[in-house]
Amino acid sequence: MKPAQFNHYKANLHILSPIHVGTDQELDPLSYIIRNKTLYRIDLMQWIEHFPEKQQLLKILESDNFVDLRTFIFDHFHHKEFIEGAVAIDCPQLLKVYHKAIKKRDAKNQVLISPTIRSETNKNAYIPGSSIKGAIRTALADCFAGTAHVTPKDAYRHAYNEKIFGRINDDPMRYLKLSDVFTGENSTAIV
């Protein structure tokens, strides 16, 4: 039996709307600061280790008061060498909520941020090929649902998949392999 032969194609895709492929994690309020419409991820442990006023910092750390610590970090973090990355913020509401949480020491609003997936080697954001394939599959399924006579009952039983794409061994989408798409530096923003 001969191995299957695959054709390779290069395609240019144009992003029409913001894309977010998350990591199932959230940035906690002590792992970043926001200044000048930019979110800076910080290496908190390195900053603590090198902070010159140890007694003042120790007092805040021992208080176990998360809100005071967040405000202290915001007020005293001025070390570029402990910044791990930066992302522009294009969301006036986020800026307002963050600064209100800092200024009013609002413990209820942690301002958790859901980061996008990034490369471990160069820290650039990327869109996994599997996510692109899923978007193409969804668009095709939506396009052919009427022709395949998909009903609401089919969606409930997951039979729509077979009606549109055929049995799992005959599904043409299983042959589609897509590479990850790496975005350039400064290609992400919080919206």
Output the six-digit token pair for 91. 């969301």
Output the six-digit token pair for 79. 């070390």
Q: What is the pLDDT of residue 13?
A: 79
- Convert the pLDDT of each residue in 97-124 to its tens digit: 999 888 888 778 888 888 888 888 877 8
Going from the C-alpha of 116 to that of each of 26, 103, 124, the distances in angstroms are 10, 27, 10
Bridge partners of 33?
Answer: 40
- HSE-CB at 179 with a 13 A cutoff on CA atoms is 9
Q: What is the pLDDT of residue 166?
A: 84
- Burial degree of 167 (CB within 10 A; 0-12, 13-18, 19+): exposed
Q: What is the pLDDT of residue 187?
A: 78
What is residue 169's DSSP assignment? Answer: G
**Averaged over 130-155, what is the pLDDT?**
85
**Averaged over 166-184, what is the pLDDT?**
86
Q: What is the pLDDT of residue 42?
A: 94
Residue 29 or 3, more confident: 29
Residue 168 or 81, more confident: 81
Output the six-digit token pair for 10. 């290069």
Q: What single-letter amino acid sits at 172?
A: P
- Residue 1 binned pLDDT confidence (cut-offs 50, 70, 90): low
CB atoms within 10 A of CB 70: 21
**Averaged over 168-180, what is the pLDDT?**
87
Pairwise CA distance, residues 88 & 116, whole Å: 13
Query: Taking all residues of the chain, what is their mean pLDDT, rounded to a whole number?
Result: 86
Q: What is the pLDDT of residue 40?
A: 94
87: helix, coil or strand? strand
Q: What is the pLDDT of residue 156?
A: 61
**Averaged over 138-159, what is the pLDDT?**
80
- Convert the pLDDT of each residue in 16-70 to its tens digit: 888 888 888 888 889 999 999 999 999 999 999 999 998 998 898 888 788 889 9
Pairwise CA distance, residues 112 & 2, whole Å: 52
Pairwise CA distance, residues 165 & 172, whole Å: 7
- Residue 3 binned pLDDT confidence (cut-offs 50, 70, 90): low
